[in-house]
Structure 1
Amino acid sequence: MQPKYSSLALAIMSAIAGQVMAEEVLEVSKPLPVSSVEVTADTELLQASPSSDGGDLLRAVNGVSGSRMGGRGIDPVIRGQKQNQLNIVLDGAYLYGGCPNRMDPPTTYTAAESYDRVTVIKGNRSVIYGPGGTGGTVLFERERPGLDADKPYRGQVSAAYSSNSETTNLSADLAAGSDSGYLRFVTESADADNYDDGNGDDVRTSYETKSNALMVGAKVADTTWLEASYEQVNEEDVLFPGAGMDSPYSDAETLRLKLDHASDHPLFQRVRAELYRSDINHLMDNYSLRAAPVMMGMPMQMAAPTSSDTLGGRILIESWLGGHQIQWGVDHQDNTRDGSRLRVNMDGSTTEVGVLWPDVNIRQTGLFGEVKRWTGQGNLITAGMRYDYVQVDTKRLADNETIDENNLSGFVTWTQRLNGQYRMESTISRSVRTADATERYISGSGGWSGNPALDPEKHHQLELVLLSEQADLSWSLAGYYNRVDDYINRTAGLNETGTSYENIDAALMGIDFDLAWQLTPTLQLRNGVSWVKGRNLDDNTDLSQIPPLTATLALDYRRDALRAGVEWEVAAQQGDVCLAADCDGLDVRKTPGYGVVNLNAGYDFNPSVSVGAGINNLFDKAYAYHLNREDALGNTAQVNEPGRTAWLRLTARF
């Protein structure tokens, strides 16, 4: 961090504090009940400092970790589950990234400023958000602007700067219309250089990204809305120190169409029909943004263009029947992934030398229903079930054979009010996830190969949650045990011909604890603790890539227009590992623990203008998350997090 930016931040904070000293104390709202299993928050309130992408933003939620490969592309992990074990839904649409090595997980295409709200549902507690989701569901959502004749427009413009990587973020959210229709445009751009880690070493993490979303809605009847949107996200020159290649570009386009109708009929109180199409084109190579490796005096230039196209939708109906609230419907996903490995010749032409994804098509059609029944005295029973028919085929393999699956998932949750303070939730669930295109058919260099014979994962989970809700103190403690039949495990491949996938029996167990305590009218204490352990039941070893015990302790201050906070993030050493040499696992080492302190402050000059500033990693700690990444050659690497970073954000609303 350069001293001039630290001095600027301190000067702003000092001036703000001096102005507020003379103001009266304004009591802030009491803490809302906290939950260890479901978190919903406005995106701008979830994390004070600017986020590089949606995965970075999600790491602010207790119990959500993430693996880093570069400056962007943080791949979230919930309760030890990752990748397609999580359902990531972007305003109703599913995006499956274009990189087999997950340079671009779905959260890469979520500019944090362009969504109004994010919801994290841990575990399997609903069946209405699509197949799978064995580890949880993340919903990035946008809302209607809520305009009327009194105020037919609204807007927000924001600019942010982070010192370490010299990152600039610019965003705007503009809307115009009335209570019968609207037009909304959201844009965001970011330009980042490499950052320095806590050792002062330069980490290759620069990137450029731009996103634009245009939304239009019309009230076509008294209780019926028709809405459409077009969204485009473009990434350029993204560097990845945790991979053998970088990404010159990665582009995503998403179209959405929604119909929302309400009626007085008890069987069709609300009907929502949603369609979407997402197309992703991704390129990674080893020469345009870095020096290509040399063999026998000749540069070995390689490129890998890929595509991932998804078409889908759902019909969701809400009904009341005999005192039961019911949600039921049908959904469909159709994803096609194709990718090749190319050798760049001396004359600039290319020769295909291998296939990454052989034009894999996975179709999933689901029927689902979920019912709620209140039994009196604050007690609630919720139950759901879904059936998914899965078909998989590929067009670029000579021995193409269609794979069919019939998957059944469901859950039952009993919520019991023990007294005025305590509430207990018990959930028993089964969730099934089919293997994805990479796990089935990847064919990379270094012996990385898929396994078409994989059976789907079958998760059977028991979860108990105790919640305490008082006027000034709320907390939630969740414990879970997840027995997984046919867990899809990626091996390092040192004992075989290369890294691949196999079905094993496994178990995941852990706890999540969250607390909010209003100490005074102006001070609130927050605490979060998360722990998960994974075991391979076939050979009684640890599962790879399981986050360590983590904890967060934060103190937030609010007095009139001034807000400030200090946060301490702690991770224990992760010694429960599966190393390649020991049990053919993907862990790169036993990762040491760390503690990081973050500061933030903000001031609302008036309802229209506000400023925020802070310092992340105050003591310039050198550390990395335990979750490492593997490149196409099977090499593993942990990428260090940024060192001390000062940031400043200005926001104007009208």
Structure 2
Amino acid sequence: MRSARRGFWILAVYGVINTPLWADDQPMLIEVIKPLPVSAAESELNLNQPLAPAADGGEVLRDLTGVSGSRMGGRGIDPVIRGQQQNRLNVILDGAYIYGACPNRMDPPTTYSAAESYDRVVVLKGNHSVIYGPGGSGGTVLFERERPQFDAKGYRGKVSAGYAGNGESSTLVADLAAGSDRGYVRFIGDKADAGNYEDGAGDEVRSSYETESNALMLGARVADRTWLEGSYEQVREEDVLFPGAGMDSPYSDADTWRLKLDHQPQGSSIQRIRAEVYRADIDHLMDNYSLRPAGMMRMAAPTSSDTLGGRLLIDSYIGGHQLQWGVDHQQNNRKGVRQMVMPSGMRMDVSDLWPDVTIEQTGLFAEVKHYLLADSWLKAGGRLDHVTADAKRTPADDDASENNLSGFLTWNQRLDDRFSLQSTLSRSVRTADATERYIDAGSWQGNPDLDPEIHQQMELMLSADAGRFSGSVSGYLDRVDDFILRKNNRYSNVGAQLYGIDLELAWQLDANWRLSNGVSWVRGTNRDDDTNLSQIPPLTATLALDYQRDAFHAGGDWLLVSQQSDVCLAGSDCGGQDLQQTPGYGVVNLNAGYDITANLSVDAGIDNLFDKRYSDHLNREDLLGNSVQVSEPGRNLWVRMSARF
């Protein structure tokens, strides 16, 4: 069932509802109907529920308030949170950082996260924690798997199959597990393929792909309060087309190993110890001739990205303080060349896209939470990161070393039994990535002398939880020193500023009907020359209405996006990546489902009901200097059958 971003349009229907937002004269209804509190700073999706077809994790995330995504093709939706993207977001897949192997970001980390192969995804917007690694100024995305639980029969399983008419895409997912309270084995397989879809005008969009992922997980309780768990996961992508690029991807292969130790001491101030290590290796190829008509000049770009990392996290309770502290490390190596392919098949290297770049980061961190009174608490955290960057295939000495200090302070005050106020001050530091430092793609050049970005943020959030109604509104300001700006395909440090508002509301109208909505707006400016930052999503709002009774549920959402005129156009004086000012649009989606039995369900829906032709404002600029806003799919009818045992 499609999760919806919400809109402020609840105000338009308020007049037709006879009961106030929180009615003291309806105590029985309030006791029975209690929606979960919603937060403008944190979102969570249960990925075990039936989902509308999604090409990858990035497309799933776009349904959340404050999260957008740039489309280059049928897959590879690159998430944007509060106007920040790429390595300004920490994306963690079951404890592992995975950095894509394409300089053009055909494969952002969310590409390797088949949504139904995880149990839930948590999005932390802004900077409110230091335990998930350095940076993360825009937010943190956690795709998580949970340890399976078993009843007396000792096994469980889920199988689902889905089909979408626009593009004739099909998916097949199996999640099988067996075990007991002493150990388990779990296998998750996900296979999907899609053809080219049509946009709302009936034009075909080159967007086909094939992808398969398989994950094997083993766990054993090696002591009464100690678990050891390991996993191996592979993702294989083939023949992925990208209309928003001058190249396609014949293959992209990822292999990830994880090992986790979870120990809970007894009778100690230390409550939990978690040790995790992982390795992720990705090989990627893009070219301009295998999957499209070859032009005068055949080009290919084989690239790789290998990441090794780990974390030690300790939970303690000392003197009335909740304390989390530990150390983490990650090492990423990226290699890539741009090649000219001769008619004979011989390849000649033209340039090093990534000249054997290794970036290492080691961090020490701690955060503590203390309850001041019954109605207020204070949370503070800090981390120190040592960063080194090294490129082995550059003529000059382009190595770099940094020591970066980050931290935050959050105060939460409950005003009464309905409202609470939370304020956060934070500082986060992001080092320049391999592309920003070292890329060599002709007119697109890196800068090894970049300083790290320093984000200084302030956020104020008001939350309400009043029986049938819950909501949250958050305003934030991010003042950035040494913002790493891509201008006319060159990188430099400038002063920047981002500010915006997120709003989330949920209203249980009666025992069956639920209305929910939200708003997201962000603005970004270059403080040095007072121009707009490019690739900032426009004002977005969605209204959703859901109905559930016994085994039947149905719902609809109305997505409204305003025009985006605050742009920095490619080729203009500000030298941004925006292709054009983008008009606004509205899209309606419907869904319904029925539980045939306790273990068998069917869900169906229509996305883009009125077959609207539209494109998201966010676009990409590829290695060849092409900028394209790829049209979103037109009307799409889908169905999914799910069985559990």
- With normalisation by structure 2, the TM-score equals 0.94
Give the C-alpha shift of residue 582 in structure 1: 4.1
Q: 1:147, 1:182 within 8 Å by CA — same for their partners in 2?
A: no
Give the C-alpha shift of residue 376 in structure 1: 1.7
Give the C-alpha shift of residue 48 in structure 1: 3.8
Unaligned runs of 5+ in 1: 1-24, 295-299, 494-498
Q: 1:301, 1:343 within 8 Å by CA — same for their partners in 2?
A: yes
User: Is the partner of 1:283 in helix, strand or coil?
Assistant: strand
1:473 and 2:469 matched: yes
1:464 and 2:422 matched: no
Cα distance in 1, alignment partners of residues 281 and 474 from structure 2: 38
Instruction: Give the residue type in structure 2 aligned to 1:198.
Output: G
Instruction: Give the residue type in structure 1 aligned to 2:564.
Output: Q
Look up the match of 1:587: 578
Cα distance in 1, alignment partners of residues 399 and 486 from structure 2: 23
Give the C-alpha shift of residue 352 in structure 1: 1.0
Paired residue for 2:312, among 304, 315, 319? 315
User: Is the partner of 2:546 in helix, strand or coil?
Assistant: strand
For residues 1-47 of structure 1, the C-alpha deviation after alignment (integer angstroms, 9 at most, x for no partner) is: xxxxxxxxxxxxxxxxxxxxxxxx9x9852100000011221244x8
Q: 2:592, 2:604 within 8 Å by CA — same for their partners in 1?
A: yes
Look up the match of 2:133: 130
Give the C-alpha shift of residue 380 in structure 1: 1.0
User: Is the partner of 1:108 in helix, strand or coil?
Assistant: helix
Paired residue for 2:373, among 376, 384, 398? 376
Cα distance in 1, alignment partners of residues 531 and 350 from structure 2: 37
4+ runs deviating over 6 angstroms: none
Q: 1:330, 1:366 within 8 Å by CA — same for their partners in 2?
A: yes
Give the C-alpha shift of residue 197 in structure 1: 0.3
For residues 359-405 of structure 1, the C-alpha deviation after alignment (integer angstroms, 9 at most, x for no partner) is: 00000000000000011222110100000000000111121342100
For residues 535-571 of structure 1, the C-alpha deviation after alignment (integer angstroms, 9 at most, x for no partner) is: 1000001110000000010000000000000100010
Unaligned runs of 5+ in 2: 1-28
Instruction: Give the residue type in structure 1 aligned to 2:637.
Output: A
Paired residue for 1:536, among 517, 526, 530? 526
Look up the match of 1:616: 607
Cα distance in 1, alignment partners of residues 161 and 390 from structure 2: 46
1:116 and 2:119 matched: yes
Look up the match of 1:517: 507
Look up the match of 1:102: 105
Q: 2:33, 2:467 within 8 Å by CA — same for their partners in 1?
A: no
CA RMSD of aligned residues (A): 1.2
Look up the match of 1:4: none
Paired residue for 1:349, among 346, 350, 367? 346
Paired residue for 1:500, among 480, 483, 490? 490
Q: 2:307, 2:330 within 8 Å by CA — same for their partners in 1?
A: yes
- The 5 Å alignment of 1:133-152 reads 133-148=136-151, 150-152=152-154
1:399 and 2:402 matched: no
For residues 458-490 of structure 1, the C-alpha deviation after alignment (integer angstroms, 9 at most, x for no partner) is: 000000000010110001000001000001111
Cα distance in 1, alignment partners of residues 473 and 403 from structure 2: 35
1:420 and 2:423 matched: no
Look up the match of 1:288: 290
Instruction: Give the residue type in structure 2 aligned to 1:562.
Output: F
Q: 1:28, 1:558 within 8 Å by CA — same for their partners in 2?
A: no
Cα distance in 2, alignment partners of residues 131 and 413 from structure 1: 18
Instruction: Give the residue type in structure 2 aligned to 1:610.
Output: S
Cα distance in 2, alignment partners of residues 410 and 331 from structure 1: 16
Cα distance in 2, alignment partners of residues 265 and 209 from structure 1: 48
1:327 and 2:309 matched: no
For residues 426-464 of structure 1, the C-alpha deviation after alignment (integer angstroms, 9 at most, x for no partner) is: 00000000000000001013x100010111000000000
1:155 and 2:145 matched: no
Instruction: Give the residue type in structure 2 aligned to 1:113.
Output: E
Cα distance in 2, alignment partners of residues 160 and 254 from structure 1: 26
Percent identity over the alignment?
A: 65
Count of residues in correspondence between the two structures: 615
Give the C-alpha shift of residue 265 in structure 1: 4.4
Give the C-alpha shift of residue 338 in structure 1: 0.2
Cα distance in 2, alignment partners of residues 596 and 266 from structure 1: 55
Q: 2:410, 2:424 within 8 Å by CA — same for their partners in 1?
A: yes
Paired residue for 2:450, among 426, 440, 454? 454
1:486 and 2:489 matched: no
Instruction: Give the residue type in structure 2 aligned to 1:59.
Output: R
Look up the match of 1:257: 259
Cα distance in 2, alignment partners of residues 633 and 177 from structure 1: 52
Look up the match of 1:196: 198
Cα distance in 1, alignment partners of residues 100 and 398 from structure 2: 24
Instruction: Give the residue type in structure 1 aligned to 2:304.
Output: S
Cα distance in 2, alignment partners of residues 183 and 28 from structure 1: 38
Paired residue for 2:618, among 627, 640, 643? 627
Q: 2:379, 2:410 within 8 Å by CA — same for their partners in 1?
A: yes
For residues 285-322 of structure 1, the C-alpha deviation after alignment (integer angstroms, 9 at most, x for no partner) is: 0000001222xxxxx11110000000000000001110
Paired residue for 2:555, among 534, 549, 565? 565
